[in-house]
Amino acid sequence: MKMGVFAAVLAVTPASPCVASVANFDIRDFGAKAGETSTIAIQKALDAAGAAGGGVVVVPPGNWTTGTIWLRSHVELRLEKGAVLKGSTRSEDYNRNDAFPENFWSDVEEWSGGHLLLGYKVEDVAITGEGTIDGSGLDFFGECDEDSRFPHYKYGLRLHPKDRQWFRPGPMVAFFLSKNIRISGVRICNAPAWTTHFRCCDGLVIRGVTIRNDRTIANTDGFSIDCTRNVEVSGCTVSTGDDTFAIRASCKLHAAVHPCENIRISDCDLASCAMGARIGIGTGTIRNVTMERCVVRESSSGVFFYSAWRPGRKGCDISDVRVSDCELLECDRPVESIGIADEWIVEDIVFERCKFASLRPSLLRAGSARRIRNVAFRSCERSHLDRLSVRHHRGFGGERSRKFIEVEGEVENLVEDSCRPAP
């Protein structure tokens, strides 16, 4: 089976802004005051660092309320220990939906195109430190609603924001058409919608980041990686109300020329109310994805291949995915594919030395115009669960089975080598 080779060297990863002498820009020197809305002052600090050719914008200990902050090239935003960037709850503090051509929002999922930290066509940018980025997610919602419609939201579900026009902010930390991004050490919490989103970027390194979202808020995906290449995510802890990883090829403007490729995820601890790693959605290409030594807990599906949301359109093509030495635990199905689009391909997929604990077996669905081929499970084992401790009262999942894998339609060249079904 042919597998893609992950690039030995990623695109340049800035250890610090690319200037000969790195200057510090303390947000207090530009008028920021703890406990007050300081969007303008923080933006002035970022702009000054950018105008100087680069530097480090320092957020000292304290609570700093802000709306949209536009990140600048060659600038590091450093949150010191005890620093909290707190997302404003006022819609007027965020960028407009039409702030730039590639921006997007969702009337279906009920979030706006407003972002908290925003990088647009920037390069050599870093977000670092031991501080916290807090999106104030719960402040946009009332009590849980529509709980029974989505049984995988086991802690309850907040689906509809209180604001029925603007809704809530969209992806909280967002980069578009940018290069060489580094995020390390910070804690990101209470996202009101997607936590992070990277669209049509090149060169992304995320290390040691913790994401903690309220488990009842819908659509709070952890890392959304869309039409982005040369990505390394390692040593992260993610607990969220939606997918922990969403790997997409869905940019309407650039998917054809921006494949989502060369993505390595390693040594992460993931807890999801939906999918652990969802691979798919869009019309472009996703290829060369590796996931190593990760633990996925409480997901509906541990690794999920999804071509598109709706029928009647082309889905994305997915190839060269390798998942090794991972544990997919306390889930409905460890591995699953659904092909809703009319045309798509999933091929050259390998799971090796993985441990599964699930209600039901893995499931691969294929069809006449939907091809799944060259899929291998090697030295994997599955433990059968009669119930999930956090879901059994909702009757989550369908008919139980102790099989290792189930197939609907024709899967070309499916290999099970030294795999053990549930005892």
Q: Is 149 within a domain?
A: yes
Q: Is 63 within a domain?
A: no
Question: Residue 196 class from Cβ within 10 Å (0-12 exposed, 13-18 middle, 19+ buried)?
Answer: buried
**b (16+ CB within 10 A) / e for 323-339:** bbebbbbbbbbbbbbbb
DSSP string, 253-286: TTTTT--EEEEEEES-EEEESSEEEEEEEESSEE
Q: Is 264 within a domain?
A: yes
CA angle 319–323–327, rounded 5-degree value: 150
Q: Is 44 within a domain?
A: no
Instruction: State how far the alpha carbon of 222 is from the alpha carbons of 9, 101, 151, 214, in Å.
Output: 25, 24, 20, 12
pLDDT in tens, the chain (423 residues): 433 333 333 444 444 444 445 799 999 999 999 999 999 999 999 999 999 999 999 999 999 999 999 999 999 999 999 999 999 999 999 999 999 999 999 999 999 999 999 999 999 999 999 999 999 999 999 998 876 566 677 788 899 999 999 999 999 999 999 999 999 999 999 999 999 999 999 999 999 999 999 999 989 999 999 999 999 999 999 999 899 999 999 888 887 889 999 999 999 999 998 899 999 988 899 999 999 999 999 888 999 998 776 666 778 899 999 999 999 999 989 999 987 767 788 999 999 999 999 999 999 988 665 689 999 999 999 999 887 776 544 556 677 888 999 998 888 999 999 998 777
Q: How far apart are CA 141 and CA 164, in angstroms?
A: 11
Q: Is 356 within a domain?
A: yes
**Which of 289, 307, 303 has the alpha carbon at shortest distance from 380?**
303
Total domains, the chain:
1
Instruction: State how far the alpha carbon of 169 is from the alpha carbons of 100, 112, 163, 188, 322, in Å.
Output: 16, 5, 11, 15, 34
The CATH code of the domain that includes 408 is: 2.160.20.10
Largest CA distance in the chain: 65
Q: Is 15 within a domain?
A: no
Q: How far apart are CA 226 and CA 246, in angstroms?
A: 8
Q: Is 84 within a domain?
A: no
Q: Is 317 within a domain?
A: yes
3-state helix, strand, coil in the chain (%, to 5): 5, 45, 50
Instruction: State how far the alpha carbon of 350 is from the alpha carbons of 115, 229, 262, 302, 418, in Å.
Output: 36, 20, 16, 14, 13
- Total residue length of the chain: 423
Instruction: State how far the alpha carbon of 38 is from the alpha carbons of 34, 44, 135, 169, in Å.
Output: 8, 10, 15, 18
For the chain, the C-alpha Rg in angstroms (whole number) is 21
Tokens of residue 18, six digits: 């690319």
Report pTM.
0.93
189 lies in which domain range? 108-417
Q: How far apart are CA 146 and CA 162, in angstroms?
A: 14
DSSP state of 404: S
Q: How far apart are CA 374 and CA 363, in angstroms?
A: 15
Kind and range of the H or E element at 86? strand 83-87
